[in-house]
Amino acid sequence: MSLGLGGVILASRVLLAIVFAVAGTAKLRDHAGTAQMLSDFGLPRGSAGAIARVLPLAELVIAVALIPTVSARWGGAAAFVLLAAFTAAIVVNLALGRKPSCRCFGQVASAPIGPATVARNVALLAVAALVGLVPSTQFDPALFAALGEQLGWVVAIAILVGFLAVQTFLMLQILRQQGRMLLRLESIEGSEHGFAHNGHAGAVAQAGLPVGTPAPAFDLPSLEGKRATLAEFLALGRRVVLLFAHPACGPCEALLPDVARWQTEHEEQLTFVIVSEGKSKENRRVFNGGRFRNVLLQTKTEVSEAYLSYGTPAAVAVEPDGTIGSSVAAGADAIRTLIANAAVPPIVQVARGEAAPEFSARTAKGDTVELLQFRGRDLVVLFWSPDCGFCRAAVDDVVRWDRDNVAPLVIVSSRDDDELSARRLHAPLVIDETGHIGRSFGAAGTPMAVHVDADGKIASDVAAGKDAIGTLLRGLSGKKA
């Protein structure tokens, strides 16, 4: 075997050893991220954590095996098997329309998979095949013999220098990444728009464009052959929820019954737009029966990428003013949470002297209670939740307020309260599962209360907590006296 071929094989071994050493070291430093990556690629979450501990050790063993001539072929074969498994997982996910982030090098190179990822792995597979299939050469012994009796020291120093080089590289990359994260957080914290900042959702977006920034415009064909734009949906005056899907995505198809239900339940608050990809025929098979009103087709993933949304299913909310209203929700559970938050109307600040918001709600027994029926009398509306610890601590106070009957009391609760019902109160307890009534009065939590005068106008600020509510009622008692 020629010296030239021996040099190529030695260079291939060094290249693979560096790649696997960097990958193994990076994964050791980012166990949580590695486990998340494996889970995103389809492994059960329970086994993903265990594999995330073994995988970096296996990569480091392969890196070491590639160095000596005697074990190089075994190291090359092991590298080929591991790379083949990685490549197969990537191809399967791409075929399913999913693009999870590849964290093959830990935090330093996290990016959604794509054709470039496959090409990189195929190139490494070719290098591993060369090392694993071609017999060991005489090039290595000649090289090492020249080093004489100092070979042990040379190898030790080389390993130490290589380790320090890898650590330095990782540290620099992580520092750069941290800098980008800090800039992103500053951008998000500086935003004052969107329901992600009004207490209904997390205060910090986890993915996607910063909340409050302009939403990227689009002009796409629908399944019916017409074209639709973001501006047309925003003109309806509701929040727009963009659902990114793919006809070959199993989790997307499993979520469709929920999407069909949401379109009906939240049609007054939300406009749903499904942004899919692929061929029209495939999409018609999935989005059939006319259940879905707005199904648009992007050419590839240009709209998804404009919103920094990678993988399906995913969703993002756009405010009526055309700004980003939420982070990107990836996965069915995150999308359900986003919908629940997006469908919640904003809290309305009602000032004293303004007309109280009209409401009509039912009690657990089915009786209807309306604000209008109390016209001509002072009224106190108490906002309540059986799941609220502060409410539970105020049950005896509610019984006393009801008994004193300073003014008619209406309790607006998120659900029926067995303890209050057992006290046989005079005050009706109406059910408001969505919290719409409370938000229309400016009540951001429970227990809270507000005074509505005989003319049906707001006569007090919203009182928060049992002490403030007691003060409000005592004031009414003095007025009555």
Task: For residue 49, give the 3-state DSSP assignment.
Answer: helix
Global confidence as pTM: 0.42
What pLDDT is stored for residue 153 in this prediction?
56
Q: ∠ CA(306), CA(97), CA(265), 5° rounding? A: 75
In the sheet that holds 409-413, the strands lie side by side as 429-431, 409-413, 379-384, 448-452, 463-464
For the chain, domain boundaries: 3-184, 219-342, 360-480
- Quick: pLDDT tens for 336-389: 988 887 877 666 778 899 999 999 999 988 899 999 999 999 999 999 988 888
Rounded mean pLDDT, 271-300:
85
Band of residue 405 on the pLDDT scale cut at 50, 70, 90: confident
Of 33-47, 194-208, 251-265, 467-481, the one with minimum mean pLDDT is: 194-208
What pLDDT is stored for residue 481 in this prediction?
38
DSSP string, 101-167: EE-TTGGGG-EE--HHHHHHHHHHHHHHHHHHHSPP-SHHHHHHHHTGGGHHHHHHHHHHHHHHHHH
Confidence check: pLDDT of 229 > 90 = yes
Task: For residue 406, give the 3-state DSSP assignment.
Answer: coil
Of 110-114, 124-128, 300-304, the one with minimum mean pLDDT is: 110-114
DSSP string, 15-29: HHHHHHHHHHHHHHH
Rounded mean pLDDT, 412-419:
90
Band of residue 93 on the pLDDT scale cut at 50, 70, 90: confident
What pLDDT is stored for residue 157 in this prediction?
60
Distance CA 475, CA 466 (A): 14
Confidence check: pLDDT of 220 > 90 = yes
Confidence check: pLDDT of 110 > 70 = no
Band of residue 200 on the pLDDT scale cut at 50, 70, 90: very low
What pLDDT is stored for residue 64 in this prediction?
85
The yes-or-no answer to whether 219-342 and 360-480 have a common fold is yes
What pLDDT is stored for residue 156 in this prediction?
58
Sign of CA dihedral 145, 150, 154, 156: positive
Distance CA 465, CA 18 (A): 62
Q: What is the largest CA-CA distance in the chain?
A: 110
Residue 169's CB is within 10 A of a number of other CB atoms, namely: 15
Confidence check: pLDDT of 192 > 50 = no
Rounded mean pLDDT, 114-125:
88
Of 31-35, 69-73, 333-337, 453-457, the one with minimum mean pLDDT is: 31-35
Quote the mean pLDDT of the chain.
Answer: 80
What pLDDT is stored for residue 453 in this prediction?
93
Alpha helices in 190-239 (DSSP H): 230-234
- Quick: pLDDT tens for 130-152: 888 876 555 555 554 444 444 45
| Nearest CA-CA partner of 217 in 278, 284, 277, 296 | 296
Rounded mean pLDDT, 298-322:
90
Share of the chain above pLDDT 70, in %: 79
What pLDDT is stored for residue 325 in this prediction?
86
Decide if 380 contacts 407 (C-beta within 8 A).
yes
Band of residue 183 on the pLDDT scale cut at 50, 70, 90: very low
Q: Which CATH number fits domain 360-480: 3.40.50.2300, 3.40.30.10, 3.40.1390.10, 3.40.430.10?
A: 3.40.30.10
Q: Is 308 left (phi over 0), alpha (psi -120 to 50) or beta?
A: left
Cis peptide before 313 (omega within 30 of 0): yes
CATH number for the domain whose boundaries are 219-342: 3.40.30.10
One-letter amino acid for residue 421 of the chain: S
What pLDDT is stored for residue 42 in this prediction?
78
